[in-house]
Amino acid sequence: MSSEPDLADIERRMKGAVEALKHEFMGLRTGRASTSLLEPITAEVYGAQMPLNQVATINVPEPRMISVQVWDKGNVSAVEKAIRNSDLGLNPVIDGQLLRIPIPELNEERRVELSKVAHKYGEQARVAVRNVRRDGMDKLKRMEKDHEMGQDEHHMWADEVQELTDKYIAEIDATLAQKEEEIMQV
């Protein structure tokens, strides 16, 4: 009469929260140029919000420079405005259809600010993992209540879910510590 909860689904969802965190971290500026820095930015072109990589070619010609080659001349100002209005603190220089974006050195104040943003992203990921744990635990309680599993089985599976949670929270903490070290590096 016993049945098993879907631990693979719980683990997949927790892993998704960690992957989302890593993706968020790619957009945090660390003083080095990276194409992923511009990934979250969208520009108002053709009457819709579009990601920059769908209206331009993004390159990193130098360690402290990003170049954005806009395909349509009419979209240059929209792309430039989107980059300026993003809260990355970047000021693009327009050269025809090419935007040159110098990556300024991070001052101490900006490093602390970025560190706080990284902590906020980390906390969001932890909350996501805890929500997955709560869903898993609720499902276990329902299965026990519906007599699909016994109390001992319930405790065993609850321990498994908690182990997964601890594993992914630790991975989030390690990723956050690594990103913070990267941000604070002068």
Q: How many distinct structural domains can be found in the chain?
A: 2
Look up the domain containing 67 and give its range.
Answer: 32-102
Please check whether residues 90 and 139 belong to one and the same domain. no
Confidence band of 3 (pLDDT split at 50, 70, 90): low
State the Cα–Cα distance between residues 129 and 168, nearest whole angstrom.
7
Residue 100, beta-bridge partner list: 67, 93
* DSSP letter for each residue of 30-43: -SS--GGGGTT-EE
Same domain, 114 and 73: no
Examine the domain organization and report whether 42 and 86 are in the same domain.
yes
Residues 80 and 55 in one domain: yes
Mean pLDDT of 50-55: 88
Is the residue at 134 inside a domain? yes
Average pLDDT over residues 154-167: 93
Question: 78 in a domain, yes or no?
Answer: yes
Q: Which residues contact 142 (CB under 8 A, 6 or more apart)?
A: none
Helical residues (DSSP H) of 33-107, grouped into ranges: 76-85
2 within a domain of the structure (yes/no): no
What is the pLDDT at residue 31? 66
Are 119 and 165 contained in the same domain? Answer: yes
Confidence band of 2 (pLDDT split at 50, 70, 90): very low
Report if residue 11 sits inside a domain: yes
Q: Are 8 and 161 in contact (CB under 8 A)?
A: no
Amino acid at 156: M
CATH of residue 44: 3.30.1360.40
The lowest-confidence range among 7-21, 23-37, 130-144, 151-165 is 23-37
Is the confidence at residue 74, as pLDDT, over 80?
yes
**Are residue 98 and residue 112 in the same domain, yes or no?**
no
Instruction: Assess if residue 57 is contained within a domain.
Output: yes
Last residue of a domain, one of 102, 120, 142: 102
Q: Is 1 within the bounds of a domain?
A: no
Q: Are residues 113 and 58 in the same domain?
A: no
86 shares its domain with 125: no
Q: Tell me the mean pLDDT in the region 157-162.
A: 93
Say if residue 163's pLDDT is above 90: yes
| Average pLDDT taken over every residue of the chain | 87
104 band by pLDDT with thresholds 50, 70 and 90: confident
| Mean pLDDT along residues 126-147 | 93
Q: Which of 102, 120, 135 is the last residue of a domain?
A: 102
